[in-house]
Amino acid sequence: MHVRIKPYNKRRGHRLRSYTIQGRRFTSARGWYEVPTAMSVVLADIQQVDNDEHSPMAFDVVTAAEARKIDEIEATDEGAKRAAADPDRTVLTSDATPAGRRAKAAARASKVRTDELEAVSVEKDERIAELEAQLAAGTSEDEEEPSEEDVEKDERIAELEAQLEASNSEDQEEPSAAGDENPGEESAGDEGDTSSASSEGTQPDPFS
């Protein structure tokens, strides 16, 4: 038979850590002991606290096959606790039991859910950035496009500038035309003076 001191569990009243009987010492840290059937019968009646009828039993007394099964179940339960506390941590559990398979399935589901949430968060951030870029582009276009009133003002200013330029051109041409007539008259006057001077030079000298 296989025996062991029940694992420490204060809530269940399992507080015994060592026990000595018939010159043999048992400790909870050692785990299972293989003992003769006669000794296993004695150990099965020992309680956590002597002379206390309400105290729980101190030893687990089972066969070798039952001891292996208990170890598998406890390892699976421990793995499930670790998976719940840290889903990303690799947990070595036995697939031979339903509890072990459930623990692995829960860890995988938690990991998948975390990845999905991260993907949704990234997609949301990209969509927000895209909308902000579109809004900024729309605002820029609104600022650059002139209003109808501004267009009309620009056209009116251009028309007035054209009229002013045409008026300045006409003012510059009139003095030039008047100046062209005066030189002709002066030329004619000069010719008259020259002709008069010539006629005076040909008169005979009365004292000759």
Is 101 buried (19+), middle (13-18) or exposed (0-12) by CB count in 10 A?
middle
Query: Tell me, what DSSP letter sits at residue 61?
Result: E
Note whether 59 and 44 are within 8 A (CB). Answer: yes
Residues 22-65: pLDDT tens digits?
Answer: 899 999 999 999 999 999 999 999 999 988 888 999 999 999 99
Using a pLDDT cut of 70, give the percent of the chain over it.
65
Domain edges within the chain: 1-62, 72-144
Cβ neighbours of residue 183 under 8 Å, at least 6 residues apart?
none
The DSSP bridge partners found for residue 47 are 57
Residue 24 or 159, more confident: 24
pLDDT at residue 130 in the model: 86
Instruction: Determine the average pLDDT of the residues in 76-86.
Output: 67
pTM of the model: 0.38
Q: Rounded distance, CA 74 to CA 72, Å?
A: 6
